[in-house]
Chains A and B, each alone.
Chain A
């Protein structure tokens, strides 16, 4: 209960550890501030509780020399803020901007209340006769970058892979690209994270991550 980092689900993507790393440095930074502020506050409440014969001090805190007691911690907050964003920026870029070249591209379209998954087939292009559609299941090989093209047919949905630390809204009228690379074979939940109507609750797919050989066999089976 006390260490929040333990509550994150098992990580199964290449960049998941980076995202967790950002969450961890924020957790430890804010934890220190939590104890500092609560400790100071608690100490003041005990030390300066009303007692007979003792008057309060008249401190206005207006002059710079007094205000410095606060301005210095505030400056530390500012530096830490900038440091957190400085540490976070490369992770954001890694997940959302610098997409590596991918061998496999899958088109995932949200609709009320399913994920439509389409593989391009042998010709590698979408919108052709050999496209291979699935509903609510997505199969990918482990250790290979996968490109996802997100679309929506109706309202906004959100593609969420908790175990992969990936979330991206699917917006009607836009093709939004995302990517991930799985590190562990397994079956993972893929809920919709955006309120999308009465079926929002329970709108989910499963992502199956296969070992290389198993994936190739599965892909061959789909082609036949």
Chain B
């Protein structure tokens, strides 16, 4: 094993404003840059959702300030909301921000193994952001062919009226993929090569495992989609016919390439969030996670299965119907490893000593909402049920219960948990509680009725539900959902207030405010450049030694040596 302290000698410590805050190679700064960009995009994606919900509740009426939305703009909002939330919010925050910040700190490394590549990654993402943002301002507007970009709709400008907007959409996504490929290579290599002495693979915290599996899934799945995107761009710009049936192409080719990537991508987003929750649960129940190794194996099984389920997005696409049942079986089977992980989370609480601190609330919020999303996934995964449910709002409800719970509930579990480490200040508890409860309630007001709308036959991506006889009497559900969405957006003010208050007047965070075991808590809050002083940590134990019988304290830092077991243990 390479000794971390030799790889990055403290001699090249960055100096000056530009190299410290802008063109930094420090993994923590890069993580915060990803966080900042992700938060900016969250605002854009959230406002787009607000506009969509306005149109759905009160179709073709003027939205204050913006004006009337109409079907063209609505399609653009649907498309860009999905694209932004998956690729420019979930990935930069869950992987970019937390992956960069946590992986070196948690494995006892002083930085990523390729710090310059890491800087290139975040700057490539910045360019991707500029390209994607500029697509809103070109003539014809931004892409409006759905976040899945199905051709032929996406393959010829005349079908949508969007020309450069969609080209820039492809280009922006390609740059985003490049950025996360660089990040993923870095995460994997760092975790393989830079673990501190004693940090074996099976002593790594679960969130590191989840980040690594997520990065691996991304590396293995994105290639076919990049090939598909190049073909789409060629179809649009040079008149090739990869997806044009009248010239010998096939529109379904794109769907196979897209979903071969698309389903693993769901887990690229989900697994890091699952990792945050797996870290938070033991700390606030003062118990080891239930079945550490079993969870790792379950994650690997789920990751492997995610490569053979993609056609469940295509049951009624016109592919050979005999393929549906095999894909239905693999899809429903993927509930097995996730059922294991969810049960393990619940079992971790059993005979614990549970405190309801703010990170724990978000972790429990994730757990409950993810169970609902997991159960509704069984409906979608069943091919015969999917004949009816496919492309209805039931699907929209399902993936918000899974992905929103991952990105928002999981993400906030991580943010409230590691904020003290990242920024050196504690967040306020009452505002944190308020933020959680408002988000939980309004999330359910927004998305729970969408199950019913879907079951009643409301199809996705319609700009005006009142055009359908069956939906006119159910319009109150759309109005309810819209009020929920507005409440959900407004509730985030509690977070803004909390962060502003914390930065100005919050209590200074101690090194280890939660009495947690993993290595990042052995560094200062926030950790200095290169994370630890002259001596990097040595690792003596696994990450979840909580409440060991006979010990004086109920926690043991991973770097607490045999002789120092209780030295760090006095609980504050």
Neighbouring B residues of A40 by C-beta, 8 Å:
346
- B250 adjacent to chain A (CB < 8 Å): yes
A20 to B356, CA, bound (A): 41
- CB-based contact A176/B318 at 8 Å: yes
Most A Cβ at <10 Å: residue of B288, B371, B384, B547 = B384
A14 to B293, CA, bound (A): 50
From known contacts A44-B349, A195-B153, infer whether A174 and B318 are also in contact, taking CB-CB under 8 Å: yes
The closest CB in chain B to the CB of A170 belongs to B318
- CB-based contact A7/B385 at 8 Å: no
- B501 adjacent to chain A (CB < 8 Å): no
Number of A-B contacts (CB under 8 A): 288
- Interface positions, chain B 381-400, Cβ under 8 Å from A, are 382-385, 387-392
Neighbouring A residues of B468 by C-beta, 8 Å:
189, 191, 204
Distance of A89 from chain B, by nearest CB (Å): 5
A33 to B378, CA, bound (A): 12
A173 to B241, CA, bound (A): 12
- Looking at the complex, which of B33-41, B327-335, B562-570 is the stretch in contact with chain A? B327-335
Task: Report B346-381 CB contacts with A as 1/0, cut-off 8 Å.
Answer: 111111111110000000100110011001101100
- CB-based contact A61/B71 at 8 Å: no
Distance of A84 from chain B, by nearest CB (Å): 6
From known contacts A9-B470, A30-B375, infer whether A154 and B383 are also in contact, taking CB-CB under 8 Å: no
- CB-based contact B339/A67 at 8 Å: no
Neighbouring B residues of A170 by C-beta, 8 Å:
318
A8 to B454, CA, bound (A): 9
A30 to B261, CA, bound (A): 28
- CB-based contact A41/B456 at 8 Å: no
From known contacts A48-B351, A172-B245, infer whether A202 and B467 are also in contact, taking CB-CB under 8 Å: yes
- CB-based contact B354/A193 at 8 Å: no
- Interface positions, chain B 31-57, Cβ under 8 Å from A, are none
The closest CB in chain A to the CB of B394 belongs to A4
- Interface positions, chain B 281-299, Cβ under 8 Å from A, are 285-294
A50 to B382, CA, bound (A): 41
A84 to B379, CA, bound (A): 10
Distance of A11 from chain B, by nearest CB (Å): 10
Neighbouring B residues of A129 by C-beta, 8 Å:
none
A37 to B375, CA, bound (A): 11
- Looking at the complex, which of A71-79, A100-108, A132-140 is the stretch in contact with chain B? A71-79
A62 to B145, CA, bound (A): 48
- Interface positions, chain A 159-201, Cβ under 8 Å from B, are 160, 162, 165-174, 176, 189, 191-201
- Looking at the complex, which of B72-80, B118-126, B169-177, B229-237 is the stretch in contact with chain A? B72-80
Task: Report A17-49 CB contacts with B as 1/0, cut-off 8 Å.
Answer: 011001100110110011001101100110011
- CB-based contact B293/A62 at 8 Å: yes
- CB-based contact B461/A44 at 8 Å: no
- Interface positions, chain B 440-468, Cβ under 8 Å from A, are 451-452, 455-457, 459-464, 467-468
- CB-based contact A59/B288 at 8 Å: yes
- CB-based contact B335/A81 at 8 Å: yes
A73 to B335, CA, bound (A): 12
- CB-based contact B336/A74 at 8 Å: yes
Neighbouring A residues of B546 by C-beta, 8 Å:
56, 58
From known contacts A61-B344, A70-B340, infer whether A96 and B152 are also in contact, taking CB-CB under 8 Å: no
- CB-based contact A95/B367 at 8 Å: no
Neighbouring B residues of A194 by C-beta, 8 Å:
150, 391
- A213 adjacent to chain B (CB < 8 Å): no
- Interface positions, chain B 54-74, Cβ under 8 Å from A, are 71-72, 74
- B201 adjacent to chain A (CB < 8 Å): no
- A122 adjacent to chain B (CB < 8 Å): no
How many residues belonging to A are interface residues under a CB distance threshold of 8 Å? 86
From known contacts A19-B387, A73-B339, infer whether A59 and B161 are also in contact, taking CB-CB under 8 Å: no
Neighbouring A residues of B504 by C-beta, 8 Å:
none
- CB-based contact B461/A97 at 8 Å: no
- CB-based contact B291/A60 at 8 Å: yes
Residue from the list A19, A158, A198 in contact with B385, Cβ < 8 A: A19
Most A Cβ at <10 Å: residue of B354, B355, B546 = B354
Neighbouring A residues of B144 by C-beta, 8 Å:
198
Residue from the list A1, A27, A45, A50 in contact with B364, Cβ < 8 A: A45
From known contacts A4-B452, A57-B547, infer whether A173 and B375 are also in contact, taking CB-CB under 8 Å: no
Residue from the list B322, B336, B353 in contact with A48, Cβ < 8 A: B353
- B534 adjacent to chain A (CB < 8 Å): no
Neighbouring A residues of B388 by C-beta, 8 Å:
8, 19, 23, 162, 165, 167
From known contacts A158-B316, A200-B75, infer whether A193 and B459 are also in contact, taking CB-CB under 8 Å: yes
The closest CB in chain A to the CB of B455 belongs to A7
- CB-based contact B354/A48 at 8 Å: yes
Task: Report B108-122 CB contacts with A as 1/0, cut-off 8 Å.
Answer: 000000000000000
| Prevailing SS type, chain A contact patch | mixed
Neighbouring A residues of B389 by C-beta, 8 Å:
23
- CB-based contact A67/B153 at 8 Å: no
- CB-based contact A167/B390 at 8 Å: yes
- CB-based contact A92/B325 at 8 Å: yes
- A54 adjacent to chain B (CB < 8 Å): yes
- CB-based contact A88/B252 at 8 Å: no
Distance of B432 from chain A, by nearest CB (Å): 17
A140 to B153, CA, bound (A): 31
- CB-based contact A166/B387 at 8 Å: yes
A48 to B290, CA, bound (A): 15
- B251 adjacent to chain A (CB < 8 Å): yes
- B16 adjacent to chain A (CB < 8 Å): no
- B342 adjacent to chain A (CB < 8 Å): yes
Neighbouring B residues of A29 by C-beta, 8 Å:
378
Residue from the list A62, A173, A174 in contact with B246, Cβ < 8 A: A173
Residue from the list A56, A58, A67, A73 in contact with B291, Cβ < 8 A: A67
Residue from the list B353, B355, B455, B470 in contact with A4, Cβ < 8 A: B455
- CB-based contact A37/B287 at 8 Å: no
Residue from the list B346, B353, B384 in contact with A50, Cβ < 8 A: B353
- A85 adjacent to chain B (CB < 8 Å): yes
Task: Report B158-179 CB contacts with A as 1/0, cut-off 8 Å.
Answer: 0111000000000000000000
- A66 adjacent to chain B (CB < 8 Å): yes
A124 to B564, CA, bound (A): 89
Q: Which 8 A-B pairs have the closest CB atoms?
A: A173-B245, A61-B290, A162-B457, A61-B291, A57-B351, A201-B463, A7-B455, A30-B375
Question: Can you offer 12 A-B residue contacts whose CB atoms are under 8 A?
Answer: A44-B349, A56-B353, A58-B287, A78-B336, A88-B325, A89-B384, A156-B251, A162-B470, A165-B388, A171-B252, A189-B468, A198-B72
Given contact pairs A154-B159, A199-B71, a sample of 4 additional A-B residue pairs in the complex whose CB atoms are under 8 Å apart: A61-B290, A85-B325, A112-B159, A172-B152
B residues with CB within 8 A of A: 71-72, 74-75, 78, 144-146, 150, 152-153, 159-161, 245-246, 249-252, 285-294, 316-318, 321-322, 324-325, 328-329, 332-333, 335-336, 339-340, 342-344, 346-356, 364, 367-368, 371-372, 375-376, 378-379, 382-385, 387-392, 451-452, 455-457, 459-464, 467-470, 544, 546-549, 554
